Amino acid sequence: MEILRGIAVSPGIAIAEAIVLDAEDYRIPQRTVAPEDVEQQVAILDRAFESSVDELGRQRDGWSSELGQETADIFNWHLGVLSTPQLRTQVTELIETNSFSAAYATSLAMRRFQRRFQKIDDPALAERVRDVRDIERRLLRHILGETREDLAHLSRPAVLVTHELTPSVAATLGSSKVMGVAIDVGGPASHTSILLRAMGIPSVVGVTDLSAHVSGGDLVIVDGVNDMVIIAPDAATLMQYRDQQKRYRQIREKLADLRDLPAESHDGVPFKLLANVEFPSEAAHCIEEGGDGIGLYRTEFLYLKDRGAPTEDQQYEAYREVIRAMDGRPVTIRTFDLGADKYTQEKSADREPNPMLGLRSIRYSLQQLDIFKIQLRAVLRAATEGEVRLMFPLIISLMEFRQAKMILHDAMEDLEDEGIPFNHDIEVGIMVETPAAAIQCRDFVREVGFVSIGTNDLVQYLLAVDRGNERVSQFYSSAHPAVLRIIHDVIKTCRKAGVSCSLCGEMAGQPLYTMLLAGLGLREFSMGPHDIPEVKKLLRMCKMKHMERVAKRALSFETERQVVNYLRAQTRKLLPDDPI
Ligand code: PEP
Ligand code: MG
């Protein structure tokens, strides 16, 4: 049994056999073949070794003339590993003695090989881990050809173990048999993590080198509560986790009793608990969990689903589906937040060196006016069907907001000229997710219809910590005193101006922050649908005076640790059984 620590990003416990994807997304299931097919697997393996040696030899010769001998020599080591009989004999033996498929035997042998280098405490040799991965990938490419198995069509439940996972692959897991996910890299607020949480798949990220420790078919536990991944658990641990899994399900089932109760404090102050959604199908989820509407519809995920720019009609239909599903409840549609870790970077041949500070969100839309206008037309048309608000992401200046509104008016004029019905009075607001917008909030509230605080990005930009990087995840915290104070200022400014203010970052759905945010004056929370019942439960237990006292005390601390310890102690008093 091996226990590895990571960052839990989606709660729950998953227990299943592992499927390991390497960095190129090859899926290597543990597969055995019939005895009569063993010979064929050995032949496949032999061909893969020969093709890899040929290919590498050609590439090395090319590199030595282009890049010099030194670079080409690095690959001589790869050639050495592939042409000396040792590795090939080992893989062949794995096939012959266990009837493993060539792909699985290769993956198993290469992972053992990698582990040998990982144990050596010498940075020069640590580099070899990457080389071994490279060789594995090359061999698997030749063994599997281009026939990657599709995760959406697994035949039995599995835990997905992978070095990294892009939002576009994560988005395909919703209806699959993937029960849990464990990833080598990643941070708590990355879009992949948000998606996994939205799909309710227990997940742990930032488990350094996990994928090198696991082979396809190993039994794995993803503990999305205590930040752990357990490989090959012993019988006692397995039993304990099966129990915990049952208890976790019971807690969730009990929360369902809250569904039809109003979201209000113990002394009757009303709150709006809204849902963040990425796909139209999640709107139903919001209602199932007792949500009061959609506070954030991340429309850019239409790109992931359709793998390209969605047409005006496709968008119109998606927006209309969400609005209709909400049956009169409010829906806030955010214009495309492309760039950063979403879609456009992933696909771009010309990657930005610093995409989080690059051409993303409203900046991208204002440069790609055709795409932006099509989206605005689709939103305006769909907005005739219900209570819809339009929101612009990552605003840093009033000029940007005014420019975006001008394009909106152009789109309205075009629709008018074409005689197409649309909502003339749509309310327009912004996300406050940059320090600039937060600090200048006093100016924004004179022009915007509403504000939604996006703490996922606000924390990232205020603290200068990449939200998706596990190496700095210990610095990424919504409990930093600077974050608390800036949120407080925005809420106060909006209240004073009579402008509606919600918060749609992940912290809105974390019970740790519920009393604090309510006590700071927030009345609208928008979160993953799954988080609504627990936040509702907590609000209904507390009187406003108490939450205001908690907020005041939390604001008085100088360090993030003090804030977390205090909020944790306060929350535990009310939810003693919940992992906080
Ligand atoms: C945020 O930044 O807090 C937010 C809600 O937007 P996203 O997570 O899509 O960047
Ligand atoms: Mg954001």
User: Which atom of ligand 1 lies nearest, measured to the CA of 361?
Assistant: 10
Going by C-alpha positions, the residue among 312, 319, 308 that lies closest to residue 279 is 319
- Residues marked active site are found at 191, 504
Query: Cα separations (Å) of 329 from 167, 198, 387, 504?
Result: 28, 20, 7, 17
State the ligand closest to the CA atom of 297: 1
Residue 404 CA to residue 410 CA, distance in Å, equals 10
Residue 452 CA to residue 524 CA, distance in Å, equals 9
What's the 82 CA to ligand 1 centre distance in angstroms?
A: 46
Closest residue CA from atom 7 of ligand 1: 456
| Any atom of ligand 1 within 6 Å of the Cβ of 228 | no
What's the 455 CA to ligand 1 centre distance in angstroms?
A: 7
10 Å Cβ neighbour count for 97? 10
What's the 235 CA to ligand 2 centre distance in angstroms?
A: 43
Going by C-alpha positions, the residue among 519, 523, 520 that lies closest to residue 500 is 523
Strand pairing partners for 21? 27, 162
| Any atom of ligand 1 within 6 Å of the Cβ of 542 | no
State the residue for tokens 């992949």: 192
What's the 434 CA to ligand 1 centre distance in angstroms?
A: 11
What's the 359 CA to ligand 2 centre distance in angstroms?
A: 13
Strand pairing partners for 342? 339
Tens of pLDDT along 514-554? 999 999 999 999 999 989 999 999 999 999 999 999 999 99
| Any atom of ligand 1 within 6 Å of the Cβ of 278 | no
| Any atom of ligand 1 within 6 Å of the Cβ of 454 | yes
User: Which atom of ligand 1 lies nearest, measured to the CA of 455?
Assistant: 3
Residue 379 CA to residue 6 CA, distance in Å, equals 40
Going by C-alpha positions, the residue among 263, 303, 298, 268 that lies closest to residue 280 is 298
pTM, two decimal places: 0.77
pLDDT of residue 156: 87
Residue 407 CA to residue 399 CA, distance in Å, equals 12
| Any atom of ligand 1 within 6 Å of the Cβ of 456 | yes
What's the 478 CA to ligand 2 centre distance in angstroms?
A: 14
Query: Cα separations (Å) of 141 from 23, 28, 52, 134, 145?
Result: 12, 11, 9, 11, 5
Angle between helices 38-67 and 69-83 in degrees, nearest 10: 170
What's the 361 CA to ligand 1 centre distance in angstroms?
A: 10
Query: Would you give the DSSP letter of residue 100?
Result: B
Domains in the chain, CATH or no CATH each:
2-27+149-252 (3.50.30.10), 35-144 (1.10.274.10), 265-574 (3.20.20.60)
From 431, 452, 510, 531, give the residue whose CB has the most ligand 1 atoms within 8 Å, as the site to mutate.
431
Tens of pLDDT along 199-221? 889 999 999 888 888 888 899 99
Q: What is the DSSP string of 207-254?
A: -TTHHHH--TT-EEEEETTTTEEEES--HHHHHHHHHHHHHHHHHHHH
Residue 571 CA to residue 578 CA, distance in Å, equals 9
Asked if residues 426 and 476 have their Cβ atoms less than 8 Å apart, the reply is: no
SS3 assignment for 404-453: HHHHHHHHHHHHHHHCCCCCCCCEEEEEECCHHHHHCHHHHCCCCCEEEE
From 456, 503, 506, give the residue whose CB has the most ligand 1 atoms within 8 Å, as the site to mutate.
456
| Any atom of ligand 1 within 6 Å of the Cβ of 337 | yes
- Cα dihedral 414, 333, 357, 199 sign: negative
- Fill in the amino acid letter for 556: S
pLDDT tens-place values along the chain, 580 residues long: 999 999 999 999 999 999 887 655 566 767 788 898 899 899 999 999 998 898 888 777 766 665 566 566 667 888 888 988 889 999 999 999 999 989 889 988 988 888 877 777 776 666 677 778 778 888 887 887 633 446 767 778 999 999 888 776 787 787 789 999 999 998 888 888 888 988 889 999 999 888 888 888 899 999 998 899 999 999 999 999 999 999 888 888 888 889 899 999 999 999 999 999 998 888 998 999 999 999 999 999 888 665 568 999 999 999 999 999 999 999 999 999 988 766 555 555 567 888 899 999 999 999 999 999 999 999 999 999 999 999 999 999 999 999 999 999 999 999 999 999 999 999 999 999 999 999 999 999 999 999 999 999 999 999 999 998 889 999 999 999 999 999 999 999 999 999 999 999 999 999 999 999 999 999 999 999 989 999 999 999 999 999 999 999 999 999 999 999 999 999 999 988 776 6
User: Which atom of ligand 1 lies nearest, measured to the CA of 337?
Assistant: 9
User: CA-based angle 478:557:578, to the nearest 5?
Assistant: 55
CA atoms within 13 A on the CB side of 474: 3
Residue 462 CA to residue 564 CA, distance in Å, equals 18
Residue 445 CA to residue 464 CA, distance in Å, equals 26
Residue 325 CA to residue 316 CA, distance in Å, equals 14
Closest residue CA from atom 1 of ligand 1: 454
- Fill in the amino acid letter for 524: E
From 334, 457, 466, 507, give the residue whose CB has the most ligand 1 atoms within 8 Å, as the site to mutate.
457
What's the 70 CA to ligand 2 centre distance in angstroms?
A: 44
From 197, 297, 298, give the residue whose CB has the most ligand 1 atoms within 8 Å, as the site to mutate.
298
CA atoms within 13 A on the CB side of 308: 1
| Any atom of ligand 1 within 6 Å of the Cβ of 167 | no
| Any atom of ligand 1 within 6 Å of the Cβ of 377 | no
| Any atom of ligand 1 within 6 Å of the Cβ of 468 | no
Q: What is the DSSP string of 290-342?
A: T--SEEEEETTHHHHHHTSPPPHHHHHHHHHHHHHHHTTS-EEEEPP--BTTB
| Any atom of ligand 1 within 6 Å of the Cβ of 339 | no
